[in-house]
Amino acid sequence: MLTAEDLPRPPYKTYHEWYASQDTAHLIRKTQDAENIFRKTGITFAVYGHADSSEKLIPFDIIPRIIAAREWRKLAQGIEQRVLAINAFLDDIYHKQEIIKAGRIPRELIEKNVAFLPEMIGFKPPGGVYTHIVGTDIVRTGEDQFYVLEDNARTPSGVSYMLENRETMMQMFPELFAQNKVKRVEDYPRLLRQSLAACAPPGCTGRPRVAVLTPGIYNSAYYEHSFLADQMGVELVEGSDLRVIDGRVKMRTTRGYEAIDVLYRRVDDDFLDPLTFRADSALGVPGIMDVYRAGNITIANAPGTGISDDKAIYSYMPEIVEFYTGRKALLENVPTWRCSEPDSLKYVLEHIEELVIKEVHGSGGYGMLVGPTATKKECSDFAAKLAAKPGNYIAQPTLALSTVPIFVNKGIAPRHVDLRPYVLVSDKVNIIPGGLTRVALKQGSLVVNSSQGGGTKDTWVLED
């Protein structure tokens, strides 16, 4: 919010003036109001393995993160370049594998990767789109310095929080939206439906029928699945609601079984089709992959996209972007050591107290070590795991992440954040102006994941 001289940065100027005129007690009440709104709306998430409560309320901070139009344009260009490169990469590795032939990526990194699906080799999804919805995690380290922390191309979550954060802020502080020209995020459900419909299979006639496939009420993101289906005006279905009839995937309705053209699935690859993947899965649809390969349904995101957000592949993203776009990456990667390489492993083990170490298939802040905040025993135990299976890990330096203000009872305090903008891909790329700002609520913490105690805040992208 402030420069080194303690003056408000230009995007925050109007907000800063408003905040200075507010009574702290009034803002404390507003924070309580926001919590009540979230509680009544049922905006929760589940934390697996916690015995105290299966449902948690995600903490919400009432001070928005504000991004200038100029800053957003730079980000949006880099995000679009990256998303197009990921899609080209997926098409290539499931077809000609030119990037492997060119020696830019080791063959074993693809073919021995558990996220690589041989069943997708030679198959092109409808419209050639693999990643229909992408969430790109971005951190800021300086005034004009942004890094991509990771790509989420399987089933990126959190967009419901982005939408509810905005609605809550507009409900509580309508005057702020009259004073600041903030770009809209409320159109996301409509744009999502349009984008999914645009990727309907070739045989679809009339308006494409879209449905959201959820693993069910016990999934940690079930609130989001039901929220998005409701907002898009489409059916929310479980695997037990679907069956393959006459070469089509059809859902049970009061009028009998009716065909689905586009399935926005929030079920992992392994559980999608018990006839193709895990035979013990009760979450998917037997035979759906046969329908998919026959071109009679679109699955979003496409099976096999998970390899593009694998953290070992992430370390090659600068080469991937340049290979498919012919230009240097506009958004930089965080420097990354691949522990599968002996020299890198040696360096990481020698500097484990200084680094952040992550599982290549990990997510949600689990299975990682933040060296600077870990105890000697935690570092020692993690080093043993690392030495036993080095190929499972990558390491990165701890960046001097930017901070934004959060509201505390004494006023404001700085906390570290990241940003997850959401991208819709069909015959065009549509980047929602804003995204989900996740904030590490513990002082000094770098871990922003809600499952690890992080919170969220509204993200404002200002118009020129």
Q: What is the pLDDT, as a whole number, of residue 363?
A: 57
For 224-281, what is each residue's pLDDT tens digit? 999 999 999 999 999 999 999 999 999 999 999 999 999 999 999 999 999 999 999 9
- Mean pLDDT value of segment 411-423: 93
Rounded to an integer, the average pLDDT of 132-161 is: 91
Beta-bridge partners for 136:
151
Residue 78 pLDDT: 97
As a whole number, mean pLDDT of residues 154-168 equals 92
Average pLDDT over residues 40-52: 59
Task: Kindly indicate the confidence band of residue 411, based on its pLDDT and cuts at 50, 70 and 90.
Answer: confident
- Residue 360, pLDDT above cutoff 60: yes
pLDDT of res. 155 = 86
What is the Cα–Cα distance from 89 to 307, expressed in whole angstroms?
10
Q: Mean pLDDT over residues 364-386, rounded?
A: 85
Query: Is residue 362's pLDDT more than 80?
Result: no
Mean pLDDT (whole number) for 172-191: 96
pLDDT at 312: 85
pLDDT in tens, 14-40: 999 999 999 999 999 999 998 888 888
What's the pLDDT score for residue 310?
86
Instruction: Give the model's pLDDT for residue 451.
Output: 60
Mean pLDDT to the nearest integer, 183-205: 95
Specify the pLDDT at position 53.
Answer: 47
* pTM summary value: 0.91
- Give mean pLDDT, residues 309-326: 93
Residue 364 pLDDT more than 90? no
pLDDT at 157 over 60: yes
User: Is a pLDDT exceeding 90 seen at residue 50?
Assistant: no
**Is the pLDDT higher at 154 or at 89?**
89
What pLDDT is attached to residue 47?
A: 53
The residue among 95 and 49 whose pLDDT is bigger is 95
Q: Which residue has the higher pLDDT, 183 or 145?
A: 183
- Percent above pLDDT 90 for the chain: 75
37-41, 181-185, 299-303, 434-438: which has the minimum mean pLDDT?
37-41
Q: What is the pLDDT of residue 144?
A: 82
Domains identified in the chain and CATH numbers: 10-332+400-461 (no CATH), 335-397 (3.30.1490.270)
- pLDDT at position 297 over 60: yes
Residue 443: which pLDDT band, with cuts at 50, 70 and 90?
confident
User: Whole-number mean pLDDT of the chain?
Assistant: 91
Q: For the residues 340-361, what does the mean pLDDT come to?
A: 90
What pLDDT band is residue 311 in, cutting at 50, 70 and 90?
confident
Question: What is the three-state SS of the chain?
Answer: CECCCCCECHHHHHHHHHHHCCCHHHHHHHHHHHHHHHHHHCCEECCCCCCCCCCEECCEEEEEEEECHHHHHHHHHHHHHHHHHHHHHHHHHCCCCHHHHCCCCCHHHHHCCCCCCHHHCCCCCHHHCCCCEEEEEEEEEECCEEEEEEEECCCCCCHHHHHHHHHHHHHHCHHHHHHCCECCCCCHHHHHHHHHHCCCCCCCCCCCCEEEECCCCCCCCHHHHHHHHHHHCCEEECHHHEEEECCEEEEEECCEEEECCEEEECCCHHHCCCCCCCCCCCCCCCCHHHHHHCCCCEEECCCCHHHHHCHHHHCCHHHHHHHHHCCCCCCEECCCEECCCHHHHHHHHHCHHHEEEEECCCCCCCCCEEHHHCCHHHHHHHHHHHHHCHHHEEEEECCCCCEEEEEECCEEEEEEEEEECEEEECCCEEECCCCEEEECCCCCCCCCCHHHCCEEEEEEEECC
pLDDT at 287: 97
Q: What is the pLDDT of residue 48?
A: 47
